[in-house]
């Protein structure tokens, strides 16, 4: 990703530490967070220092590799791997909806049972694959984007949501770099504002023309013929093509279908979960009500403050995701091509 005149990955591992761009500080400050052990990495996932399906997957893989390193340093490597079993449960309890997290923790766990060095190698391999898959998604998705295309996004599924490139934003970046004149409507994405804070920051760094729009402006924009297509990411894709993504995605899909706007989901195969028959079985994370009731922002001196924006004494509920049924989805953009959101297409793609 471009940050000024330097290239970064969202998350990487050096020695026994995992480094990541602190997404809670953006867009007001750019800083790197160091997680020195697997518990630090788990806390970073929970508190959303790192977030997004692909980045969470990489973080989970690195956290498991850290756990194997810690086990080796402690001299606790035994046939039962009690320390590792506890660590794996902690890693997998951080964010229950994102399939990539479980995919990576399982792969690194299996490698680590053979040796710590294999755990480290597997974690790095998964991070590298995340980048390669995202770029392929970008190339396939670019084929859908015409000159002067106006695209609506929701949440952040770009550089910051992956190790690099992203899913939903990867086609936008490839299209922009190929010289296409495109424009992006960036949903603010309440309550945490990942669109307004993160997607807009990314697009600004890349030089992609864009504006931030309120979450509830999508219907107006589409009714006026101002949106040519919608591209969103995914945290989990069920076997029948139902998709869990950031809360508010389902509403956009309903409106897109009403006005005949193509609605695409971008996701690597690691996000697909064939053990989940349909979206009704996808676990939906409930986050703190404070995310709805409070906001963080800088004062005139650059200091970040937390203020209440809702009626004192009122509570809130905060489901982090919703499920979009397959019938509302035009197609799913994967690293192996674009498929219809059907069980048959998903099974064939996974088999291949």
Concatenate the DSSP letters of all residues of 101-137 into one string: HHHHHHHHHHHHTT-HHHHHHHHHHHHHHHHHHHHHH
What pLDDT is recorded for position 352?
76
Residue where the block lists tokens 């498991």: 64
What pLDDT is recorded for position 25?
94
Going by the DSSP 8-state scheme, the letter that residue 146 receives in this structure is P
CB count, 10 Å around CB of 125?
Answer: 15
Closest Cα to residue 166, out of 333, 48, 279?
333
CATH topology of 2-134 equal to that of 135-351? no
Structure tokens belonging to residue 200: 């807009």
What pLDDT is recorded for position 286?
96
Q: What is the CA radius of gyration of the chain?
A: 20
Q: From CA 253, how far away is CA 268, in angstroms rounded? A: 20
Structure tokens belonging to residue 41: 């990495």
* Domain layout of the chain by residue ranges: 2-134, 135-351
The CATH H-level superfamily of 2-134 is: translation initiation factor eif-2b, domain 1 (1.20.120.420)
CB count, 10 Å around CB of 78?
Answer: 10
Cis-peptide into 191, omega within 30 deg: yes
CA distances from 170 to 66, 176, 324 (A): 29, 10, 21
Q: What SS3 class is residue 328? A: helix
Q: From CA 59, how far away is CA 50, in angstroms rounded? A: 8
Helices (H), 113-248: 116-142, 170-177, 194, 200-206, 218-223
What pLDDT is recorded for position 256?
98
Q: From CA 190, how far away is CA 212, in angstroms rounded? A: 12
Q: From CA 195, how far away is CA 248, in angstroms rounded? A: 12
What pLDDT is recorded for position 300?
83
**Helices 99-112 and 116-142, interaxial angle, to 10°?**
150
Find out if CATH 3.30.43.10 is the number for domain 135-351. Answer: no
- Give the DSSP H or E segment for 237: strand 236-238
CA distances from 304 to 219, 298, 301 (A): 33, 4, 9
Query: Do residues 171 and 158 lie in contact, with contact meaning Cβ atoms separated by under 8 Å?
Result: no
What pLDDT is recorded for position 76?
65
Query: Do residues 233 and 266 lie in contact, with contact meaning Cβ atoms separated by under 8 Å?
Result: yes
CB count, 10 Å around CB of 110?
Answer: 13
Query: Do residues 162 and 132 lie in contact, with contact meaning Cβ atoms separated by under 8 Å?
Result: no
Give average pLDDT by consecutive 10-residue segment, the chain, 352 residues: 89 97 95 98 97 96 97 74 94 93 97 96 97 98 98 97 97 98 97 97 96 97 98 97 98 98 97 96 96 92 90 97 98 97 93 79
Report CA torsion sign: 269, 275, 279, 283: negative
What pLDDT is recorded for position 150?
98
Catalytic residues: 235
């Amino acid at each position: 990703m471009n940050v000024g005149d330097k290239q970064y990955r969202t998350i990487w591992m050096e020695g026994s530490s995992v480094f990541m761009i602190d997404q809670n500080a953006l867009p007001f400050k750019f800083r790197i967070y160091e997680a020195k052990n697997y518990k630090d990495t788990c806390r970073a996932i929970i508190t959303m220092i790192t977030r997004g399906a692909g980045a969470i997957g990489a973080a989970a893989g690195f956290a498991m590799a850290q756990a194997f390193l810690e086990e080796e340093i402690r001299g606790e490597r035994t046939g039962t791997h009690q320390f590792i079993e506890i660590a794996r449960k902690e890693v997998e309890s951080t964010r229950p909806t994102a399939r990539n997290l479980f995919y990576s923790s399982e792969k690194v766990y299996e490698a680590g049972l053979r040796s710590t060095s294999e755990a480290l190698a597997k974690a790095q391999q998964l991070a590298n694959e995340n980048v390669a898959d995202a770029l392929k998604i970008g190339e396939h998705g670019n084929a859908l984007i015409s000159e002067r295309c106006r695209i609506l996004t929701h949440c952040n599924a770009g550089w910051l949501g992956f190790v690099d490139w992203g899913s939903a934003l990867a086609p936008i970046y490839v299209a922009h770099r190929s010289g296409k004149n495109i424009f992006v409507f960036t949903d603010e994405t309440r309550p945490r504002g990942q669109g307004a804070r993160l997607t807009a920051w990314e697009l600004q760094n890349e030089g992609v023309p864009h504006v931030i729009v309120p979450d509830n402006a999508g219907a107006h924009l589409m009714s006026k013929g101002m949106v040519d297509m919608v591209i969103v990411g995914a945290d989990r894709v069920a076997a029948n093509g139902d998709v869990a993504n950031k809360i508010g995605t389902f509403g956009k899909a309903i409106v897109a279908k009403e006005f005949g706007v193509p609605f695409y989901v971008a996701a690597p195969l690691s996000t697909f979960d064939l053990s989940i028959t349909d979206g009704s079985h996808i676990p939906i994370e409930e986050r703190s009500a404070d995310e709805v009731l409070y906001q963080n922002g800088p004062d005139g001196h650059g200091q970040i403050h937390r203020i209440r924006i809702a009626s004192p004494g009122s509570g809130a509920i905060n489901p982090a995701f919703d499920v979009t049924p397959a019938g509302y989805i035009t197609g799913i953009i994967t690293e192996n091509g674009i498929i219809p959101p059907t069980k048959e297409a998903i099974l064939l793609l996974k088999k291949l």
